[in-house]
A and B are shown apart, each in its own frame.
Chain A
Amino acid sequence: AQSVTQLDSHVSVSEGTPVLLRCNYSSSYSPSLFWYVQHPNKGLQLLLKYTSAATLVKGINGFEAEFKKSETSFHLTKPSAHMSDAAEYFCVVPDDMRFGAGTRLTVKP
């Protein structure tokens, strides 16, 4: 069975600084991987997805993620955080649709 581990339950950054949200997966083969975002009191929205076409995936709102098979990772990054990025972020392997525990991103002014 596949699963994901989000290594940080909470990440706090200052506005304008880089964001790194970590996700590791366990699988015997290259999976598809998604990142979803959930803003406060809002529904979940797809941020980006990896489906083996390219290892560096660009998503909405300036986020991107790089699939690294050697590290079994799919970390989410953004060069410069904005206040509106404050939200809960979830990594998920679509084949079994089990979500990671989520990482809450706080952006300080």
Chain B
Amino acid sequence: GAGVSQSPSNKVTEKGKDVELRCDPISGHTALYWYRQSLGQGLEFLIYFQGNSAPDKSGLPSDRFSAERTGGSVSTLTIQRTQQEDSAVYLCASSLVASGGLNTGELFFGEGSRLTVL
């Protein structure tokens, strides 16, 4: 597609349920990021995938959160046993990575998945 695609755009779930959020990055972009934006808050880094390297999971808030990226393209963010504090907009972004591994390229963001945990 032309841009980063995220689904679902809106998800309402009950506390304790598991949810999966999907991100389809721009074709050819090797870097993929997940962020969380709570109401009125900035962007909280969650996880970063770069090519075949081990992902940078340093931003995941708890072991209930996990993410995978299959075939170097589509990524799924999974939240197990959701809590009310997980309610937020989850943003995915992708970018090209310059040689040497330093990312100096523009991040392209999807529209986000708004998660509401009741």
- Asked whether, in the complex, the Cβ of A44 is within 8 Å of the Cβ of B104, the reply is no
Bound state CA distance, A102 and B37, in angstroms?
11
B13-21, B41-49, B65-73: which one contacts chain A?
B41-49
Contacts of A51 in B (CB 8 A): 104
Verify if A74 is at the interface (C-beta below 8 Å from B): no
Q: How many residues of A contact B (CB 8 A)?
A: 20
User: When chains A and B are docked, how far (Å) is the Cα of A101 from the Cα of B37?
Assistant: 10
A12 to chain B, nearest CB (A): 16
Question: Could you tell me the dominant secondary structure of chain B's interface residues?
Answer: loop
Asked if B25 is an interface residue, CB under 8 A from chain A, the answer is: no
Mask of B32-68 contacts with A, CB within 8 angstroms, 1/0 = 0101000001110100100000000000000000000
* Closest beta carbon of chain B to A49's beta carbon, Å: 7
Contact of B42 among A43, A90, A97 (CB under 8 A): A90
Contact with A along B90-118 (1 / 0, CB 8 A): 01010100000011111101111000000
CB of B42 within 8 A of CB of A46, answer: no
Pull 13 A–B residue pairs with CB atoms less than 8 Å apart, ordered by A: A32-B102, A43-B111, A43-B112, A49-B106, A94-B107, A95-B103, A97-B48, A97-B103, A99-B43, A99-B45, A100-B42, A101-B41, A102-B42
